Amino acid sequence: MAKKKELDIRATLLGLLAVGVGVLAWQMIGTLGLVPKALLATPAEVWAALIEILHEGYRGTTLFENIAATLGRCILGFLAAVALGVPLGLWMGISKMTEASLNFMVQFLRPLPPLSYLVLLILWFGIGDFSKIMLLFLTAFPTIATASMAGVRQVNRKRIDAARSLGANSRQIFHHVLLPGALPMIFTGLRIAIAAAFSSVVAAELMAASNGLGWMVFSASRNMRTDIILLGIILLGIFGMVLSRTLVAIDTHMIHWRGYD
């Protein structure tokens, strides 16, 4: 037990060391002028940009506003996809007829790169937030629905039979056997879906937005503000990790039986 803790501490320290060395090298490259100033802002400059934006905002938008816009769109689209995708996926897993009627549409949507139909969505719904949230919904939905369907399908038949012979009715079997049994796969799908949604929201903001972290990066590139670009990238990376870690935490917390079968 103690040995594992030792290893974990060592791993964390090595990780911090690697990051520290990386940041130092980055600063050195800038300070020593190894790369033209216009191309690379140093960590110090990025930090200064952060302070600047916190105080003065960026082109009329506060940092908070941009973060909220990006995260908000992402989470909204994602939640909508969960609300529709999980029930539909479960239903398709349980009912072969439902699957036959609907799955082909889901499966055609799945490999479709989201930005390809963003163009269409903008044609239909204009350039505002609605088309973006619709984009995120469509990005996340097929993965979640497919994962839910697969999840309920792979529930061990023996468990269903055991519940039946204990006298459970269909609703109870769904609630206590099928749904929990499908959860691990559903959550795996959720994790993939949120990463895809987050990527899509940034891409959409790069293309057609007036706020958000993606917009900020895009706008800064027009003005060659590499410090703000890098700040945006770092913030996006951090929030990407936060979203994914949150989902992992919910997953581990809820699905305490993972790994035991």
Partner 1 sequence: MRPRTATAISAAVLVAGWLLLTLGGFVSDLFLPPPSQLWDALVDLWQEGYKNRSIWEHIGQSLIRVLVGFGTGAIVGTAMGLLMGYFKTIDSLFAPFIEFLRPLPQLAYLVILIIWLGIDEASKITLLFLAALPVAAVAARDGVRNVSQIRIRVAQSLGAKRSHIFFYIVFPSALAEIFTGARLAIGIVYATLIASEIIAGTNGIGWMIFDAGRFLRSDFVFIGIIIVGIMGIAIDRLILMVETRVVHWAGKQ
The site for partner 1 (CB under 8 A) is made up of: 7, 10-12, 14-19, 22, 39-40, 96-97, 99-102, 104-105, 108, 111-120, 122-124, 192, 195-196, 198-199, 201-203, 206-207, 213-214, 217-218, 220-221, 224, 226, 229-230, 232-233, 236-237, 240-241, 243-244
CB of 49 to partner 1, least distance (A): 14
Q: Which is nearer to partner 1, 94 or 168 (CB)?
A: 94
Q: Which is nearer to partner 1, 24 or 175 (CB)?
A: 24
What is each CA distance from 52 to 15, 128, 158, 214, in whole angstroms? 29, 28, 62, 18
Q: Which is nearer to partner 1, 85 or 142 (CB)?
A: 142
CA-based diameter of the chain, in Å?
76
CB of 218 to partner 1, least distance (A): 7
Q: Which is nearer to partner 1, 30 or 232 (CB)?
A: 232
- Alpha helix positions (H), the chain: 2-31, 43-56, 63-94, 96-109, 114-125, 129-153, 157-165, 170-173, 179-207, 213-222, 226-254
In this structure, are residues 140 and 81 in contact, taking their beta carbons and an 8 Å threshold? yes
CB of 10 to partner 1, least distance (A): 7
CB of 195 to partner 1, least distance (A): 6
Other CB atoms within a 10 A radius of the CB of residue 142 amount to: 24
CB of 192 to partner 1, least distance (A): 7
What are the beta bridge partners of residue 61?
A: 58
In this structure, are residues 220 and 205 in contact, taking their beta carbons and an 8 Å threshold? no
CB of 107 to partner 1, least distance (A): 8
Q: Which is nearer to partner 1, 177 or 214 (CB)?
A: 214
Helix axes 129-153, 96-109, angle to 10 degrees: 130
Q: Which is nearer to partner 1, 31 or 223 (CB)?
A: 223
Q: How far apart are CA 69 and CA 239, in angstroms?
A: 13
Q: In the structure encoding, which two tokens stand for residue 57, read together?
A: 């905002």
